[in-house]
Amino acid sequence: MRKKILLMAMAALTAAGVLCCCGSPQRTGNGVEAHGRLRVQDARLTDEHGEPAVLRGMSSHGISWFPRYLNGGAMKTLREEGANLMRIAVYTEPPGAYIEDPQRSLDYLYMGIESALAEDMYVIVDWHILKDGDPNELADEAAAFFDGVSAHYGNCPGILYEICNEPNGDTQWEDIVRYARRVIPVIRANAPEAVILTGVPNYCTDFRGPLADPLPYENIMYTMHRYIDVAQKKPCDPGQLEALLDQGLPIFVTEWGVTLGDADPSAEEAEENGLRQTEIYVENALPFLELMADREVSWAAWALSGKDEIHSVLRADCGKLSGWTREDLTGFGELVFDHFQ
């Protein structure tokens, strides 16, 4: 009888996910608790157990303008939908962003980090350059920023650092290398094992530089950004990503989303022209999503926002800050949420 009771108890624990079939503790979930400290091994993201780690989640919009979606309830909703990643975009400019008001940006950043970590999610701290196309323009400010954040969190296993969002304009790979050599040692002094992500020229689309001359550091990945035209019914071509993976380049897609191609409007134009009601073909993104799933590529979708534009996952008329249902999502949002797991 005692043996029968013991066997029944073990079966109940196994069914609840407390014990695995061999009787040892079983890791639950898909976040920091399950995966622990991340590393880049053989050009792929792995966890502390040496197993592949795939992060999928959202990027914020600029936190200086949309901090409301960094709340704990929002992170809980994302986690319940299957996400295990939040990317927090700290814009350097325009007015109101970090350079003009660093303390406000840091307040929002830390609030977002703590909210995501509390839900067992990984966090990308994104130094979001854009109009300042060469990251060296603000290298001093970037070094101070990353020194402060990395010192605050030490070598917390849940934090990844994206040192430059979208280098663009005349910026060459040599410029990014010079910037990386300035900023990466600052992060490494406080967080020696953290995974560091870096952008590449032409808005994170030109990978010739890192293929020929990769950065001389461990635990480095290169960021791809991809926006897929959904104005015409034509599946996207994921060939660039596949070729880079085949060449052994460690890729993290820190931004992907949809666009209306040459007709992509501003928010004001969209409202005036009624383009929110335009038929769009979000399924065009499926080949890219399927390749990322097959090759275990981590990603963050742009953006967790109700801004009236094609890139938002929340409807512009949705006033909810968490607990979203499918009725609150755009067509793009439904696609993203369906692919978290």
Residues designated catalytic: 166, 255
Contact yes or no for 331/313 (Cβ under 8 A): no
**Coil, strand or helix: which one is 256?**
strand
| Tokens describing residue 117 | 């970590």
- Are 153 and 161 in contact by the 8 Å Cβ rule? The answer is no
Please state, in angstroms and as integers, the Cα–Cα distance from residue 44 to each residue in 40, 84, 242, following that order: 5, 17, 13
Which residue do the tokens 């108890």 mark?
A: 9
Which two three-digit tokens encode residue 257? 């989303």
Identify the CA nearest to 163 among candidates 74, 121, 175, 154: 175
Residue 210 in contact with residue 222, Cβ under 8 Å?
A: yes
**How far, CA to CA in Å, does 163 sit from each of 3, 12, 16?**
57, 46, 41
- Backbone φ, ψ for residue 301 (5° rounding): -90, 145
DSSP-assigned letters across all residues of 187-223: HHHH-TT--EEE--HHHHT--HHHHHS--SSSSEEEE
* Residue found under tokens 């300035």: 182
Backbone φ/ψ region at 262: left (φ over 0), alpha (ψ -120 to 50), beta: alpha
Question: What's the rounded Cα separation, in Å, for the pair 289 and 206?
Answer: 20
- Cα–Cα distance, 297 to 291 (Å, whole number): 8
- The Cα–Cα gap between 155 and 135 comes to 24
> Which residues on adjacent β-strands are paired with residue 253?
299
